[in-house]
């Protein structure tokens, strides 16, 4: 692979790591659209491969692990991870992730690409509407009482894992708002706990997606080329992002994150 392509892929990993560390979302929400855009006919001019989305999913889901682990460690040091919630969230999310990945293998790469773009656009619109609401709750959630019964946590994990496995997302994109809305978890704790969950569930989803790449005519060694290029910079970005989330205005972080996701999704449609 030419050096310029390696450098761009490494930069994608860095930006994905920062985004994942800031928002607890893993990073693949940025990686998959970015790879499609970079390797489209208008940029590096790679030959059209209708199943390449499966390869990008496998690489991105693996990098999710490298993003989640350092971010979760940093959040844990800050005392933000709600460890008691993990015993329900991890198994529920992991089981649903396996189902989501298996379902993704029944669809073509092009169908998954368009499905991902549609989902991200709808998610961004919804997130913009949440940000625009008056009297938003604070980042620390002072005075908030959490509601975390097992059935609510299991539902949050199941929804997160199923959609995350299907679309190749880490799942934090959904788990963070679900923990807020369904369980009344503070935003800071939701981001931190999401990163901790992804350490386990992202690894399971990535391993399964890599193991089934041959079903789509793609090769594991090709996926690892992207992984090796992105993982080191993604780790650095995740550590930086996880530190910044405890120091930056959370609404500003959420606004920038949503804008990036929306822009990537619109570009994904035309890539």
Reduced to 3 states (helix: H, G, I; strand: E, B; else coil), residue 44 is coil
Average pLDDT, the chain: 85
How confident is the model over 240-250, as pLDDT tens digits? 877 776 677 76
Q: What confidence score (pLDDT) does residue 142 get? A: 54
Distance of CA 251 to the CA centre of its chain: 19
d(CA 72, CA 241): 11
Report the C-alpha dihedral over residues 31, 32, 33, 36, rounded to 10 degrees.
110
For residue 204, how many C-alpha atoms fall within 13 Å in the half-sphere facing its CB? 23
Query: The tokens of 94 are what?
Result: 């992991």
Band (pLDDT 50/70/90 cuts) for residue 176 is confident
First-to-last CA distance in the chain? 21
CB atoms within 10 A of CB 107: 15
């Amino acid at each position: 692979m030419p050096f310029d392509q390696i450098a761009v892929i490494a930069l994608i990993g860095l930006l994905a790591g920062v985004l994942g560390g800031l928002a607890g979302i893993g990073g693949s929400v940025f990686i998959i659209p970015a790879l499609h855009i970079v390797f489209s006919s208008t940029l590096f001019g790679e030959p059209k491969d209708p199943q390449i989305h499966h390869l990008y999913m496998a690489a991105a889901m693996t990098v999710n692990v490298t993003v989640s682990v350092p971010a979760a460690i940093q959040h844990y040091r800050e005392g933000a991870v709600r460890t008691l919630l993990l015993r329900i969230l991890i198994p529920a999310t992991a089981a649903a992730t396996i189902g989501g990945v298996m379902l993704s293998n029944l669809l073509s790469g092009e169908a998954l690409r368009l499905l991902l773009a549609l989902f991200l656009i709808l998610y961004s619109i919804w997130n913009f509407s949440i940000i625009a609401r008056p009297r938003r709750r604070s980042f620390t959630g002072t005075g908030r009482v959490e509601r975390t019964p097992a059935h609510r946590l299991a539902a949050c994990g199941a929804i997160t894992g199923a959609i995350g496995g299907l679309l190749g997302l880490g799942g934090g994109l959904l788990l963070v708002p679900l923990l807020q809305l369904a369980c009344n978890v503070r935003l800071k704790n939701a981001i931190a706990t999401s990163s901790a969950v992804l350490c386990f569930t992202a690894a399971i989803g990535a391993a399964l997606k890599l193991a089934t790449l041959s079903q789509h005519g793609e090769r594991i060694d090709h996926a690892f080329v992207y992984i090796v290029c992105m993982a080191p910079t993604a780790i650095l970005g995740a550590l930086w992002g996880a530190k910044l989330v405890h120091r930056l205005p959370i609404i500003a972080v959420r606004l920038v994150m949503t804008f990036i996701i929306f822009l990537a999704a619109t570009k994904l449609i035309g890539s």
